[in-house]
Amino acid sequence: MAKPLLIIQPATSYDDMPAVCALRGDELAWFGAGCGVAPDEILSVKVYQDAPLPDPADVRATIITGAIDMVTDGHPWIERTAAWARTAMAQGAPILGVCFGHQLLAHALGGTVADNPRGAMFGTVDVARTPAGAQDPLFAPLPNLAQMMVFHFQSVLSLPAGADVLATSGHDPHHAVRYAANAWGVQFHPEFDAQIMAGSYDVYADAIGRAGFSVPDLRAANADSAHGELLLRAFMAAADGA
């Protein structure tokens, strides 16, 4: 049988956004649709429940999703997952870290993750491709300025040795990074669309307001972008060619 796409879940949105998940499923469905991968071709591992991770060689590719917890919370499962990711990257396994997953890859290799001194960030942002990004298989299909959805409190503040910045934003200079030959991290959420983003505003309106954002303004600007799916399809193509 074909190897599955491994989706490492540090959380499930059923726990914090049940209304959206009742209509759309959780990250498994969102990433599966974006990647063009059928549900029966996905292996989910809920690491926050201490589920064991497979040998990286036994999966087609790996996506590490966003989370409710922070990388800096230091839970034992976070460090175990970071150790697995470090080994997988050394073996050349194709990995895409998203939001928490991006930060976990940086942490695993010795980078610094912490509260962003510019504060939290929510909504759709312009992500500018760097010259390195223009040559990268994930970012080459994207325009020089892509629109991506973000929802995060922490960021990668310093990079591990050997990492290359592929895209930046005014808020996050390390918005997209290539950590190893076949390992990428992105601070944005390529799996989000306007409906999922709107659901996050419903649940986290108070926290977003305390961070200094206007939820009505965010809702007014909320719109779909095709760029996230382009990146996910490019990741799968790169993984299959690795």
- Using one digit for the tens of pLDDT, what is the confidence trace for 189-198? 999 999 999 9
**Overall number of domains in the chain:** 1
Share of the chain above pLDDT 70, in %: 100
Task: Please give the pLDDT value at position 118.
Answer: 93
In the prediction, which pLDDT does 152 show?
A: 95
pLDDT at position 149 is: 97
Report long-range pairs for 108-111 (Cβ below 8 Å, ≥24 apart): 108/82, 108/83, 109/160, 109/161, 109/162, 109/163, 109/179, 110/160, 110/161, 111/156, 111/157, 111/158, 111/159, 111/160, 111/163
Q: Which residue has the tokens 């009742």?
A: 22
Per the structure, the complete domain to which residue 207 belongs is given by: 5-241
pLDDT at residue 235 in the model: 98
- Residue 19: per-residue pLDDT: 96
In terms of Cβ atoms closer than 10 Å to its own Cβ (0-12, 13-18, 19+), residue 128 is middle
Mean pLDDT computed over every residue of the chain: 97
- What's 101's domain CATH number? 3.40.50.880
What is the mean pLDDT of the segment spanning 156-183? Answer: 97
Token pair 């460090």 is found at 79
Q: Is the pLDDT of residue 1 over 70?
A: no
